[in-house]
Structure 1
Amino acid sequence: MPFHSLGLDPSLVRAATDKGYLAPTAIQVAAIPAILQGRDLLGAARTGSGKTAAFSLPLLQRLAGAGRQQPRRLQALVLVPTRELAAQVGESMRSLAQQLPVPMRIAVAFGGVSINPQMMALRGGADVMIATPGRLLDLLDHRALRLSSVSMLVLDEADRLFDLGFAEELGRILALLPERRQNLLFSATFPPAIQSLAERLLSDPVRVEAQDDPVGEPAAIQQRAIEVDAGRRTQLLRQLVKGSGWTRVLVFVATKHGAEMVADKLRRAGVEAEPFHGLLSQGKRTQVLADFKASRVQVVVATDLAARGIDVAQLPVVVNYDLPRSAVDYVHRIGRTGRAGASGVAVSFVSAATEAHFRLIEKRQGLNVPRERVVGFEPAEAPPPAPADAGGGIKGKRPSKKDKLRGM
C-alpha cells in the first residue's frame, strides 16, 4: 500500500519518500487515516515500528489545513520521556514538514541544558512543541508559551513517562490544556496506570495494535547467547568487536560506573569507545550520539537510557553485556538494531550466575536462543546455589526506584 492511498497531501508523501520511507508500516496504515479524521487514538507498537511518522504526518497535515495563524499560536503538543527522543522526534518532524505549502515552526525543549536558548526560540511563537514534561513546565513558569490553543496532544512512549516518574508533571500539564482537543496516546506496554490514563484522556478512541509489525518484530533480529564467565566479558567483547567486522556496536550495561569502566578498557585496547549515561552533560550525550551515527565512534557503552527513543540507522549489533532486569527491557534493547526493515544481530553474554535469569527472559518472550561458546572463552564458573526461598521469578515490567536511578 503506498503512502498516497492513506489520504496524505502530496507534499508529505514526497517528504516521506525523501526520508526513505518506501511503504507505510502497519502502525502507519492503521493510524494515519484515523488521525486525519480527527479521532482520538490509542496505539500499541513496538520500538522501531514507525510510530513517529504515524503521528507526525497526519498532525502536520491537519495543522497545515487549518492555515497560518497570526500571531502564531501553539497548536500541537508532543510529550516524550527523554531528551534524546525529543531531539529525534523534532528532527524527524522538521524534515517531514519541509515541503509543506504552509511553513511550520517546530520547537523542541528538554532539560539538562540552558533554558534561555529554548525561550529565545519561542519568540514569535511556535506551531508544534516537542518537549519533556519537566522542561515544558519550566517554560510555562517563565511565560514563554501558553497551552490555551493546543488542539492536538500526543503522548509518545506513555509507559516510559510513568516509569520515569512524570505522573505528577503530566497531570499538571493536562489541567492546562483545552478540554476540546484530539488526543493520541502511544505506548509499548499498558500497565494499570496507562490504562487508567487512556480511559480518562481519550474519547471513543480508535485502538491500533501493531505489536506484530515485521519492522519492529524481534524475529527480524538474529539473537545470540554466548556463555562466558563474568570476569572475561570485556575481553570477549573486545575480540568480537575486532574479529567480527562490526562497524558500530551498542553495548548495554547495568550501571553508569559499568559504562565508564567498559568504555575505558575498550579504549585502552585500541577500540574507539564512549560511555553514555545520565550523569553526562547533555552536550556530551549529544556529541557521543553524533559521533556514533557518523562512525567516528565504533562502540557506545550505555545504560538503559539508550534502550528507548534512540534511532541509529543501520546499527548492525547490540550487545547485552549485562542482562536487562526485565523481559520488556530486553525487547527495547535489542530493538535498537534491525530497524526499518534492516537486519541486525543481538548478542547476550550469559554467565553461570545469569543463566536462570536469561531462561526466564526467553520464557516471557517466547524465545529459545541456542547457547554458544567461543574458543578460548569457555566458561569455568559453576552456577550459584539456589536460595532457599527461590521462586520469585523474573522482575516485572515496572521498574523500582533503584532501577530508575541505575538506568538514567
Structure 2
Amino acid sequence: MKCGFLIGSVLMVLAGCSQFNAVSLYSNSASEVHPVDYFDRAMVFHDAQTSVVTGLRNTTCKEVRFEEENSFGGKDHLSIEWDTNRGCKYIGIQIPWANYAAKNLTPLVDCAAIEMAIRLEEGSLTNIPMFFGLVDYADRQCMTKINFLGMDDGLLDTAWRKVRIPLQAFKHERRGVNMAKIKELKIEFQRKGHVHIDEIKIVRYENPYAVEPDNSTHVIAGLPWNIGTTPDEWWGINPRYSSSFQFARKQRDESGIRGGDPMAVQAEVNTALPDAWNQFGVSFSDWKRVDMASLYTTAALGFDLMCSETPDLEISIHTFSGQRRQVRTKLQVTQLMEIGENRYRAYVPIRAFADFESLDWSALKEIRFLVKESARFDLANLRLIEFRGNPSNPTAWKGYE
C-alpha cells in the first residue's frame, strides 16, 4: 500500500514537471550589454590629478593651463590659447590615457564616439580650427575634426557644450592605423583660438544620420525637387543664439514635389557686429546622399527672394565624398527675375558654379548660404529646377515651370 502511494506521488511530480518552462542556462540579457560597457578605459581625460597630458610646454604660440574655476567634470579642466601666426608650424597636445596602456578600440568603431565638453573663451563658432587624431604604437595616426552635427545645438559658445566625434569618422583603415593598439589621443590646433576642454571619454553612439543600406541615396529622377521641407534639414537657424536668421511662415508650394513645402527663411544680418552670425545651410534630403548625376548639367537652383537691395550672397554646394567636396558661386543680379515689388525669382544654374564638373554629383550633401555684407531679405521655395538656357543670362530662358 505504501509502495503504491509512493509510486503515485512520483508520477504526480513528474506530471507536474511538464508544466515548467524551459530555462536557458545563460541569460539572454548579456547579449544586450553594449560593447562600451565592457571597455574599462573609457575615461580619456578627467582632470590633471587623474589624467596624463603631454605637450604642455608653453611657447609664444601656445599657452596651456589647468584651470579649476568653472570646470565641467573633475577638479580642473584644460584651457588652451593658441595663435599660429606667431611662427609655430605645429601646435598640439597628446593624451596617452590609461597610463600609456594599449587601448583596443576595434569592437567600438561602429558603435562609440569620443565625447568631450567644450566651451569658448568668447564668441561662438560652428567650425573650430581643431583636429583630433588617434595614434597607434607604430606612430600611425588618423585625423578628423568636429562636425557641427556632433555639437549640441550645432555650435560652440561660452557655455559648456558636449561634442561627439564618432570613431568611424577617423577612417582608420585609410591610414593603416591599428585600432587594437591605440596609444593616445592627439589634438592639433590651427589658426588661432582659446578653448576650454573637459571630461573627454568614450561613450555609446548611434549615428542619427547613419547611411541605411536600402535607401541611403535619394536619386533625383526628375525636376523640380523641393529642398529643406522640415526644420531638421537646416542648420545655423536658431533664435536662441542669434537673431540673424529665423524661419518664416512656409510659402505655399503647389507642385507637390517631394511631399512638402520648402521652409522660408528670414535674414537680418549685421556684419558690423563682432562675431556676427552670417551663414546657414540645408540638406538636399534629410542629410542623406542625393544623386543627381544624370541631371546636374541641365539643372539650376531656384528660390524666391524678397529684398529691397540685392544681398551679397555666396552659395556653395557640398558633397559627402569626392576629391573635391564643394563648389561656390556668387548670386548675380542677372540671375534675378522681378515678379513684384521687392520680390524676385532667382535662377542659379549649376553650370554657373566654378569647376562644377569636378564635384561628385552622385553624393550631394547640402547647400550653404554665406551673407558677406549686412542685409535683410527673405528666402523661400528653394528647389532644384530644370534649366537648359545660357548660364550667363539665365532669366532669358523661357522653359521654366
Fold similarity call, TM over 0.5: no
TM range (shorter): under 0.3
TM-score of the aligned structures, taking structure 1 as reference length: 0.26
TM-score (norm 2): 0.27
Specify which structure has the higher proportion of strand: 2
* Structure with the higher fraction of residues in helix conformation: 1
For the pair shown, which has the larger CA radius of gyration, 1 or 2? Answer: 2
Which of structures 1 and 2 has the larger relative contact order (alpha carbons within 8 angstroms, sep 6+)? 1
